Amino acid sequence: MLKKLIIQNYAIIDAVEIDFSEQLNIITGETGAGKSILMGALSLILGERADTAALPDKSKKCFIEGYFEVNNKKSVLNFLQTNDLDVDDELVIRREIATNGKSRAFVNDTPVNLEQLRNLSSFLVDLHRQFDTMSLGDEQFQREVIDALANHPALLTDLGKSFNEFVHAGKAYQQLSEEKENFIKEFDYNKFLFEELEQANFQPNELEEADQQLKILSNAEQIKTGLSKATYILQEGETPMVQQLKSLYQQLLGYGSTFPQLAELLTRIQATQIELADIAAELERLNDQTQYDAAAIERLNDRVALGYKLQKKHGINDTAGLLVLQQNLSEKLSLVLNIDDQLHQLEKTLQVKKAETLNLAQKVSANRKKQVQGFEQSVNNLLTQVGMPNARLKVEIVADEKNINRFGIDQIEFLFDANKSGQFKPVGKVASGGELSRLMLCIKSLVAEKVDLATLIFDEIDTGISGEAAKQVGIILKGLSANRQIICITHQPQIAGKASTHFYVYKQVVNEKVKTNISILTLEERIDAIAKMLGGEPPTAAAYENAREMIR
């Protein structure tokens, strides 16, 4: 419920503060007094885009603040918690437009964007203006009306979830089908590449090791010469190094007992002699193993040449890359062989999801169709009440199971016949502005009983009506206000007479500037205002009497 609205520096409003009642709040005033400006300001805190042209005084910012009573409303509390906003019994929405044109929005003093503001306001207020009657012809609006009457939100949630799963399964099936087509196109080529690598039968690090082995074999003679010379120096020749170290050790050994510091050196000399002897033996072994082998060189050259050819072909730099490629090709070929099984399983999943979604959609459709007769009758009765006795609304629901979507299988359309002609046509194409306004009021009065919306706002919904029809509109609005807050801008005295609280919008000159202001009327002021609406100025005695009667 909107408890208070504060507006500063907006259009021709300098500063106003409005305290709304819980029931029927009526706003009246002369044409051009600024009633629509109030709605424009209210729209800003409901998420509409700001226009800097609305700032009359460019030296200070525009400030609009709305105070709402939440009353533990679950949808609002869930929104606040989901968006990390402070939760309190009172909800304060503030909108500021700076002098440079930049706009900011706050919820309980926390900055929010316009999308968040619009989403939050949808849980708080339903704002109906003259041009909003165009939504009567919108399929989404018509579907939401019937769904509100059917009161099956949990079923709609399940339907939406099931449809999303159905779509996901369909996309997975389609994607795998396309992959299969691509795999089939590439199968022969991939098979050729795989067999080429399989036939090569490379082992890990084979090419790198073969390259190293080739270097050894290609230089075998030079290597053998070097190894032989080293072996000769160490353990052969006239004075082999190993023998010299052995002799040196023997010569010094006798002094070990008399020269204690020599003992460690003798140990080191002996270890060195043993190490050199071992090195000489290892060199001799390597020398024996190193043999020039033309056949081996040719074989290794062939393997390296084949490997380099395949590396260049595939843009790979080592043996490991070729083996990874071989494994990937193997997996692709295996996938082609197994893809039919996967497709079959996905097709089964798709059919199950479709059946689940269709079953839920059929339940939703059945619930909707149950509402049609009672809804048509109730709307038509209300149309008679608001001065349209010959008008008829007809709801057409056509179920098409081939065109299932997240909202079900129904095509819903509101048809309208204004004159009992029997010719029903889409409501948006045949109803006049006044007819649309009254029709929208009738529909909203029925839907309001099902929708948890605390505040309904009607901006000149009385367009095109007067007399008894206006009186009946007032009665409907008064009835709605028994359980929710209604804010209504009107030009009709019959509607104004039903107010729980009557606000009057007027212009006044302040410092040679025209400003809009608003005040709450006392009983006598209400009588005077309604009398003027009835008979002009100055009101006649009859007008005053009629005004009193309307208020009573």
State the pLDDT at residue 190. Answer: 80
State the pLDDT at residue 288. Answer: 65
Q: What b-and-e string marks burial along 379-412, b requiring 16 or more CB atoms within 10 Å of the CB?
A: bbebbebbbbeebbbbbebebeeeebeebbbbeb
Q: Are strands 62-69 and 2-10 parallel, antiparallel or unpaired?
A: antiparallel
How many structural domains are present in the chain? 2
State the pLDDT at residue 154. Answer: 92
One domain, residues 117 and 186: no
One domain, residues 228 and 105: no
State the pLDDT at residue 431. Answer: 72
One domain, residues 120 and 183: no
State the pLDDT at residue 133. Answer: 52
Of 301, 318, 338, the residue that ends a domain is 338
State the pLDDT at residue 87. Answer: 82
Residues 6+ positions from 249 with CB-CB distance below 8 Å: 266, 269, 270, 273
pTM: 0.65
DSSP assignment, residue 536? -
Does 276 reside within a domain?
Answer: yes
One domain, residues 230 and 326: yes
State the pLDDT at residue 130. Answer: 45
Does 67 reside within a domain?
Answer: yes
Query: Shortest CA distance to 191 belongs to which of 315, 306, 320, 332?
Result: 332
Query: Shortest CA distance to 5 belongs to which of 538, 501, 523, 535?
Result: 501
CATH number at residue 77: 3.40.50.300
CA distance linking residue 234 with residue 243, whole number of Å: 8
One domain, residues 90 and 210: no
Are 16 and 29 spatial neighbours (Cβ–Cβ below 8 Å)?
A: no
Does 425 reside within a domain?
Answer: no
Of 309, 338, 367, the residue that ends a domain is 338
Does 365 reside within a domain?
Answer: no
Does 369 reside within a domain?
Answer: no
Domain assignment of residue 66, given as a range: 1-124+453-521
One domain, residues 190 and 330: yes
State the pLDDT at residue 295. Answer: 74
Does 41 reside within a domain?
Answer: yes
One domain, residues 181 and 318: yes
Query: Shortest CA distance to 14 belongs to which of 543, 509, 545, 544?
Result: 509
One domain, residues 188 and 48: no
Give the pLDDT of the chain (552 residues) as one tens digit per residue: 899 999 988 888 888 999 999 999 999 888 777 788 888 888 888 888 877 667 777 778 888 999 998 887 888 888 888 888 888 878 999 999 887 778 899 999 899 998 999 888 888 887 665 445 556 778 888 898 899 899 898 999 999 999 999 999 999 999 988 888 877 777 778 888 888 888 888 888 877 877 777 776 666 666 666 767 777 677 676 777 777 777 777 777 777 666 777 777 778 878 887 887 788 777 777 766 666 656 766 777 778 788 888 888 888 888 888 888 888 888 777 767 678 888 889 999 999 999 999 999 999 999 999 999 999 999 999 998 888 889 999 999 999 999 999 999 999 999 999 888 888 998 878 777 777 878 888 888 888 777 766 788 887 777 667 788 888 888 888 988 888 889 998 888 999 999 999 999 988 887 777 888 899 999 999 999 999 888 777 888 888 888 898 888
Does 194 reside within a domain?
Answer: yes
Of 313, 338, 363, the residue that ends a domain is 338
One domain, residues 217 and 299: yes
Largest CA distance in the chain: 152
Helix, strand, or coil here: 452? coil
Helix runs in 261-315, H state only: 262-289, 294-314
One domain, residues 208 and 269: yes
Does 356 reside within a domain?
Answer: no
State the pLDDT at residue 483. Answer: 84
Q: Say which residue the tokens 């028994």 belong to.
A: 482
